[in-house]
Amino acid sequence: MKSIVRPALTLLLLLTVITGVIYPLVATGLAQLVFPQQANGSLIERDGKPVGSVRIGQSFTDPKYFWGRPSVTSPQPDNGINSGGSNLGPSNPALTDAVKQRIAALRAADPGNTAPVPVDLVTASGSGLDPEISPAAAQYQIARVARVRGLSEAQVAALVARATKGRQLGVLGEPRVNVLQLNLALDASQTHGT
């Protein structure tokens, strides 16, 4: 038995040092050297100060901004330290009610727009931090944002196009629009004198 205890204890200790200390330190060193921007959270800076992350969604409810995916993190939406989805089952009446409320909120902010709402704009994301919406969800909101801001739809559509990414390598994932980048660009387009 003793001939097994010593190897078990020491090998556990040594492999812990190798995989639990040396490995993450080497990975951190390499990451900070080669990809510092990504490794530190892909922060967006304005005037040298971080104003958010490209990767992490923020909550928008003002009609002048594009709204992102609904987030059900608690206690506030898009809570960076409490990620997660609704976990509502497909047959749960609470899910249908939530979707109805979101449709009503979108329509209240944009009276007269009776088009069906793109599904990603009324269903909660898995992380509660989804930074992106589908191009369909962006198009749905262009007229509203343009009207509230007093911009032409073409101007807003151009900003949407700039914040849109296609499928990666042409195949992977889905086309998507980064909501925070788009809203920052909208604000910037109006403060810098249009």
Partner 1 sequence: MTTNDILQVGLYLVVLLLLVKPLGNYMALVFAEAPNRVTRFGGRIERVLYRLCGIRADEEMGWKRYALAMLLFNVLGVLVVYALQRVQQWLPLNPQHFGAVSPDSAMNTAISFVTNTNWQGYAGESTMSYLTQMTGLAVQNFLSAATGIAVLVAVVRGFSRRSAVGIGNFWVDLTRSTLYVLLPLSLLIAMLLVSQGVVQNFKPYVDVPVLQTSTYAQPVTDAAGNPVKDAAGNPETKPAQLTTQTLPMGPAASQVAIKMLGTNGGGFFNANSAHPYENPTPFSNFIEMLAIFLIPGALCVMFGRMVGDRRQGWAILATMLLIFIPLTIGLVAAEQAGNPALHGLAVDAHASALQAGGNMEGKETRFGIAASSLFAAITTAASCGAVNAMHDSLTPLGGLIPMWLIQLGEVIFGGVGSGLYGMLAFAVVGVFIAGLMVGRTPEYLGKKIEAHEMKMASLAVLLPCALVVIGTAVAVMLPAGVAGIANPGAHGFSEILYAVSSASNNNGSAFGGLSANTPFWNVLLGICMFLARFPLAIAMLAMAGSLAAKRHVPESAGTLPTHTPLFITLLASVVIVVGALTFLPALALGPIAEFLMSGH
Residues in 111-140 at the binding interface with partner 1, rule: CB under 8 A = 114-120, 122-137, 139
Point out which residues pair with 53 in neighbouring strands: 43
Q: Does 63 bind partner 1 (CB under 8 A)?
A: no
Where in 33-87 does DSSP place strands (E)?
43-46, 49-53
Residue list 66-85, contact with partner 1 (CB under 8 A): 69, 75-85
Question: Any contact of residue 181 with partner 1 (CB under 8 A)?
Answer: no
Question: Is 144 within 8 Å of 62 (Cβ atoms)?
Answer: no
| Binders in 14-43 for partner 1, by CB under 8 A | 14-16, 18-21, 23-24, 26-28, 30-32, 34-35, 38-43
**Which residue reads 């191009």 in tokens?**
135
Cβ of residue 114: shortest distance to partner 1, in angstroms? 8
Q: Determine the Cα–Cα distance for residues 160 and 186; give it in Å rounded to an integer.
A: 9
Q: Residue 122: what residue type?
A: V
> Is there binding between residue 162 and partner 1 (CB under 8 A)?
no
Which parts of 86-115 interact with partner 1 (CB under 8 A)?
Answer: 86-93, 95-96, 99-100, 103, 114-115
Whether residue 65 contacts residue 141, with contact meaning beta carbons closer than 8 Å, is answered with: no
Q: Is 187 in the site for partner 1 (CB under 8 A)?
A: yes
